[in-house]
Chain A
Amino acid sequence: MTLSHYLAVSTALFLIGLFGALTRRNILGILMGIELMFNAANINLAAFNRFLHPSGFVGSAVAVFIIAVAAAEIVVGLALVVAIYRAQGTLYTEDIHLLKG
């Protein structure tokens, strides 16, 4: 096991999430893609901590902060999704064009 194995996994996960966030028509799908990208970043932090600074804990601590911010982001995002669905009756991004005039 080398560090590049873990970096390859996290890159693949990040790119899958990026593809999902760019191409999904459903807002929920976009939020899921963003979650995948957060997780890829966390794998990177844990892997660099384990391979390059095995006696330190900063990588894990920063990953904890990322998990907390991701949780806050997803809570607000899902509340917004519910509010949009209640107001507009749709979850598809091309139908949400209130500001387009």
Chain B
Amino acid sequence: MMEAAFYSLTAITLLSALGVVLARNTLHAALLLGLCLAGVGGLFATLGADFLFGGQILIYVGGIAVLMTFVVMLAGRASELHLRQVNDQWLAALLICGVTFMGMQKIIDSFSNTRAPATTTATTAGVGRILLDEFAVPFEIISVILVAALVGAVVFSRPRAKRDRS
């Protein structure tokens, strides 16, 4: 049961991630990004991280993927659908990925006997307690960062004429 869920979610995640990277149409890439993020959310669920699963669906699939789709529709042109989307350095990038994989493989192999404990504990209560206790200062800093990001987004996306007048 666990294996079936893991392998099907892995297939969804990795295939849609390949689609994100290789799709010619940027709108298709944005929609596949939503599917890929939902697959990652499913992997969180198989890991028993229930709070991350909910956060992933709410923030990534419901927020970031939708925002990405909006921007693609705002800033894209229909004539761009036939342009090549991959630059000339793809071979070098492939080599970098291959070399990085060689290095990662050693780390992956060293954990091949680590099995999960049978019992899972619900994480939501524990995460909430840790956020307000040990990680209280970073938690407050994150809220400042989010406010700064909001203000920055408004400033950057204001029309130019208005910005010059002020």
Contacts and interface: CB of A to CB of B under 8 A. Distances in A.
B138 A65 contact: yes
A52 B114 contact: yes
Contact of B68 (A8, A31, A92): A31
B35 interface: no
Nearest to B110: A4
Contacts, number: 244
Given A22-B93, A67-B55, A1 B26 contact: no
Interface residues of B, number: 89
B13 A72 contact: no
Interface in B26-84: 26, 29-30, 33, 36-37, 40, 43-44, 47-49, 51-52, 55-56, 59-60, 63-64, 67-68, 71-72, 74-76, 80, 83-84
A91 to B, nearest CB: 6
B153 A75 contact: yes
Nearest to B88: A23
A46 B52 contact: yes
Contacts of A100: none
A3 B47 CA distance: 10
Nearest to A68: B142
A94 to B, nearest CB: 7
A48 to B, nearest CB: 9
Given A16-B14, A36-B20, A61-B130, A28 B64 contact: no
Contact of A26 (B3, B26, B146): B26
A50 B153 CA distance: 36
Interface of A: 1-9, 11-13, 15-20, 22-26, 28-29, 31-33, 35-36, 39, 42-43, 46-47, 49-52, 54-61, 63-65, 67-76, 78-83, 85-87, 91-94
